[in-house]
Amino acid sequence: MPDVLLITGAGGMIGTELVNYLGQGGRLVVALVTHDPSRYPQFENVKYVKCDIFNSDEICRVMEKYKPTGLIHLAWRSTGQFESNENFEFVSASVNLVKLFIRFGGRRLVFAGTYAEYASSEDKLVEAESEIRPLTVYAKCKNWTSQILAC
C-alpha cells in the first residue's frame, strides 16, 4: 500500500489551501471534512471523508481503512471564542487521534499551533526563539496539545 497522508481540518482556511496544493501531486491524500465531501474541489489523488474528530469510532474506521503514514492535524475550531471550554475537547480529541494514528502504523505528524501561544511583541515571531506565553484558554490548549504530542 502506498504512503497515505491524512489531513484533519481539510475544509478549513489552511486545510483547503493545503489540499488544493497537494491535490496536484501523486500521493494519496485523505482529507477529513465536516461537511458534504462533494462540495470540495475534486482531485484524482484526494479522497474527502466526512468525519468527526470527536467520534473515536469514526476516526478508528478511517485509520483502519486508509492506514495513513503521515498526518497533518489542522482541525481546531477557531471561532473567536478564545475562552471557551470547548478548547479542552480538542486537546483530548487530538490525543486520541494521534494514538490511533500510531496504532495503525502512522510515522510522521505535523500539528498546527497558533501565534496566540506566544508572548505579544512588536518583534518578528520566530518559533525557536520567541517567548511562549499563552494567555487564553484557546492558546493554552493549543500549547498543551503541542507539548503532549511532542512526547
Taking only the tens place, the pLDDT of each residue in 38-48 is 999 999 999 99
Mean pLDDT taken over the chain = 92
- Separation of alpha carbons 19 and 140, rounded Å: 27
Cell digits of residue 82: 478564545
pLDDT tens-digit profile of 7-52?
999 999 899 999 999 988 888 999 999 999 999 999 999 999 999 9
pLDDT tens digit sequence for 120-146: 888 888 888 888 999 999 999 999 999
Cα–Cα dist 87/136, whole Å: 10
Measured distance CA(150)–CA(39) in Å, rounded: 34
CA 105 to CA 67: how far, in whole Å? 7
Helix (H, G, I), strand (E, B) or coil at 84: coil
pLDDT of 1 above 60: no
